[in-house]
Each structure stands twice: as C-alpha cells, then as structure tokens.
Amino acid sequence: MDIRFLESFVAVADCGSIAEAARRLNLTPAALSQRLRTLEQDLGHSLVMRAGRRVRPTASGLAVLDHARHLIEGARDLRAIAAQDEPAGQLRLGGIATSLTGLLPGIIARLRARHPRIEYFIRPDSSVNLYHGVISGDLDAAVIVRPQFPVPKSTGWLTLREEPLVLLAPEEADGADPLEMIQSHPFIRYDRNQWGGQIVDRYLRQNEMKLREWLELDALDAIAGLVSRGLGVAIVPDWAPPWPEGLRLQKIALPDAGGRQTGVLWNLSGARISAMQAFVSACRDAETE
C-alpha cells in the first residue's frame, strides 16, 4: 500500500473537498480521485461519499481514519530515525502567501544545499490555520504572522521580518496627509479574518477613521493591483518582495502605525528534530541577511 494514497484520503477527510485536498497536495483533482479509487480497491471498501457539495468519510472511512494518520506519521519518521543525527526525512511546512514567494524559497534553497536528504511538503494557508497545523503536529513548522497571544511552550518562534503598515495610494493621488487620504478615497480593506487584517483594523479604530469602504479581501497582491488601477487606497503590511510587477502606486509611511511580524513557528520535539533544527538554522541565516 502506497503511503501517498493514505495521505490523499486523510487530506480529503480533513478538507471535505477533493479540489481543496488536491490543491494542498499539489495534485490535480483527477489524480487525487484515482488515488482514492486505488486505495478503496486495495481495502475492499468505499472510503468517501458525497454529501451535497461536500465529501465526507463513509463508516469504513471513519473506521480507518485514525489508523491512517498513525501510519502516515510513522512512515514520515522512518527516514529521520534511520538517519539518526543527520537531517533527513520529510519536513512538513506551511506558509502564508507572501512567504511562499518572499521568504521560503531562499530558506529552502539554502537548506537544500546543506542537507540534500531532507524532503519537503509545503502547505499554503492563512496564519490561523497554519498555527493550528503546527500545534496539532500536522505541520513541523510554518511561516506566519506572529499571533497576538503567547505561543505554547512546546513551540519555538523566530521573527524573520518586521513589516510596518503602509498606505497604498494610486500613483496620481494627491494629498500631503495620509490620514486624510484614507478617509477621502474609496477604501479597500485587508480581510479582518486574517491576523494581519486585524492589525490594520486596530489601527483604523484607534484613529477613529471614517471610511468609504467598498471592498474587503485577503489577497495582498490583489489589493495592490486594485490600488494601482485607481480603484481606491489600502493599508497593508510592507511585505517581503517580490511585489507584482508593473504597479503604479505610492507606498506611504503611516504615523505610529506599528505593523506585523512575520516569522517561523515550529515544534520543539519529534522524530524529525534534526531536520527541524537545520531548518531553523537556515531561517536564522535569512534573518541576518
């Protein structure tokens, strides 16, 4: 039995969607569905069923789900255990959207050169979901926005980047006072369900802003694109480059705005601790660059 097929089943059970599970595993929905069919043929039972627009485990699927999780975790640990102190095995990482282009590629390239026996799984998601992924042990580490509460003692935290809040305004927009510009132009809000968006919301409330708000979304590059098209202004963290090419906008510092910290949260124990320590070391090198 191929462990990857078990991973596909568990991902579908967790996501409730073949399309979402395929996205997380970097597969096409058709390829993931084929894996499920092969696994069901091996076991002789249907494992998932459709319930409206969702997919959920059958009774047989629920019966094997916890066992499948243990088998997957054990298989991931085997290489790391066999390697003893040498960093090896699969690291399960997560990253917010801006880290996938701005921070993680350099960190992984550095780590790959030092320790070629480490393999990687990378899950893109929001900070809150990735945080819970690390806490539950589903992920070894994640690059996220620092939460506004203490992290558990079973985890470590390293800040990689301080990202102050900035005002994005169209290139042709006039105005010497950024606070006045925010209130006099249509406002594009960074999603308040995101930890970074909550930091922006706190700044707006502290300054008692009266907004002409017309749109709220959680994609920072899309927000920058809308501002560049002259559709409004926005407050965002000054995230790590690259930014979208061809933007025609102003990036204006805000008074006493604070910002967000982007960093890595990781588990301090586990069978893959040697690989995890090597990853954190590569992150520390990125912090000093």
Express as a percent the part of the chain with pLDDT over 70: 96
Most confidently modeled range among 45-54, 73-82, 96-105? 96-105
CATH code for the part of the protein at 89-161+261-286: 3.40.190.10
d(CA 179, CA 184): 9
Domains 3-83 and 89-161+261-286 share a fold: no
CA distances from 249 to 154, 213, 230, 242, 245 (A): 43, 19, 9, 15, 11
DSSP 122-154: EEE--HHHHHHHHHHTS-SEEEEEPPSSPPPTT
Neighbour tally for 284: CB within 10 Å: 13
What's the burial of 58, exposed, middle or buried (CB within 10 Å: 0-12/13-18/19+)?
Answer: middle
Superfamily of domain 163-259 in CATH is Periplasmic binding protein-like II (3.40.190.10)
Higher pLDDT, 175 or 148: 148
Does 113 have pLDDT greater than 60?
A: yes
Give the pLDDT of residue 272.
78
Interstrand relation of 48-51 and 54-57 (parallel, antiparallel or unpaired): antiparallel
User: In which band, very low, low, confident or very high, does the pLDDT at 83 lie, cut at 50, 70 and 90?
Assistant: low
Express as a percent the part of the chain with pLDDT over 90: 73
| H or E segment to which residue 261 belongs | strand 259-267
Considering the chain, what is the average pLDDT of its residues? 90
**Is residue 242 within 8 Å of residue 105, measured between CB atoms?**
no
Domain positions in the chain: 3-83, 89-161+261-286, 163-259
**Is residue 263 within 8 Å of residue 161, measured between CB atoms?**
yes
Give the pLDDT of residue 51.
80
Neighbour tally for 149: CB within 10 Å: 5
The residue with tokens 């300054």 is 207
Sign of CA dihedral 36, 41, 47, 52: positive
DSSP-derived letter for residue 113 is H
Give the pLDDT of residue 84.
55
**Is residue 10 within 8 Å of residue 72, measured between CB atoms?**
yes
Counted residue by residue, the chain has a size of 289
> Smallest Cα–Cα separation from 58: which of 42, 69, 46?
46
CATH 3.40.50.2000 fits 3-83, yes or no: no
pLDDT per position as a tens digit, 161-218:
999 999 999 999 887 789 999 999 999 999 999 999 999 999 999 999 999 999 999 9
Higher pLDDT, 258 or 190: 190
**Is residue 186 within 8 Å of residue 232, measured between CB atoms?**
yes
